[in-house]
Amino acid sequence: MTAGGLGVLFASSATAWLLETLVWRDLFWILAIATLLVAIIIFFAVPDKPLPAEQVDLTSHIGGIFHIFSDRYFWRIIPVAVSTQAAALALIGLWTGPWFRDIAGFNETEVASSLLLIAVSMIIGYVVIGNIAYYFSKRGINSMTVALVGMTAFILTQVILAFHPVYFARSIWMLFGFFSTSSILTYAALSQRFSSHYAGRANTALNFLVFVVGFFTQWGIGAVIDAFPSENVGSYASEGYQHVFIYLIVVQAICLGWYALNRR
């Protein structure tokens, strides 16, 4: 996830810098060619390690899926894992930039640099929180406990953002990005729950739900913000952003409570 976070860096200041001399079409061509070159390098450079073919029929695959989706611990983790990651994906992926523009009053350069700082804080978060989880796992504290502390802090940053902290906006959004990485530990918790035969499918199921809910969350944020018309053309009203954070906080708090109530 730390390596993947490096891609977010390119999506902020680097993109803004390139677009001073290029257009979007040129940028996508560069990205496409770079991706193809990386694929070719991996194909030829990474050694192939043939593994014995696993003879699993369709019935076994379906049975494995039912085994995962009928597990009580899976449904204990899913709500809080999905709601927090969906909020992070939706906001960082689309709505953080407009927030800096409409609430903090930043220009395009300041927005790009702010998104860069959030990306850096996420990369640091993956490294730090991952190592914290590893440290405590050696002392009998599982990764889900560390994840819950981090996700609680993540929700608290959204509580602060709901009050539009303009003067220290970047700092709070950096904390938002940092603590958003804690929900990744839920994948480790699922892997520890299921055997090696099911762990991959359990994480795939979680990943699928995260992106589906993240998509609808991103769309829903737009619907809420559009419900509060702004007097300024090309921008959104502050009330819309405030309502978005309230709704997200309530949903995540309920999901966090669900996990706590089902601890037995």
The residue among 105 and 52 whose pLDDT is bigger is: 105
In this predicted structure, what is the pLDDT of residue 216?
96
In this predicted structure, what is the pLDDT of residue 218?
95
| Burial environment of residue 222 by CB neighbours within 10 A (0 to 12, 13 to 18, 19 or more) | middle
Distance of CA 241 to CAs 94, 145, 192, 255, Å? 13, 31, 38, 21
pTM of the model: 0.85
Q: How far is it, in rounded angstroms, from Cα 223 to Cα 243?
A: 11
Amino acid code (one letter) for 55: Q
Q: Which of 157, 24, 176, 158 is nearest to 114 (CA)?
A: 176
Distance of CA 55 to CAs 52, 58, 59, 165, 194, Å? 9, 10, 12, 57, 20
In this predicted structure, what is the pLDDT of residue 54?
65
pLDDT digits (tens, 9 = 90+) for 216-264: 999 999 999 999 887 777 789 999 999 999 999 999 999 999 998 877 6
**Annotated domain spans of the chain:** 60-261
* Percent with pLDDT over 70 in the chain: 95
Distance of CA 151 to CAs 81, 97, 112, 162, Å? 9, 22, 26, 17
Q: Which of 105, 146, 106 is nearest to 125 (CA)?
A: 146
pLDDT digits (tens, 9 = 90+) for 164-221: 888 899 999 999 999 999 999 999 888 888 887 788 888 989 999 999 999 999 999 9
Q: How far is it, in rounded angstroms, from Cα 192 to Cα 68?
A: 13
Q: Given this structure, which CATH class describes domain 60-261?
A: mainly alpha
In this predicted structure, what is the pLDDT of residue 38?
93
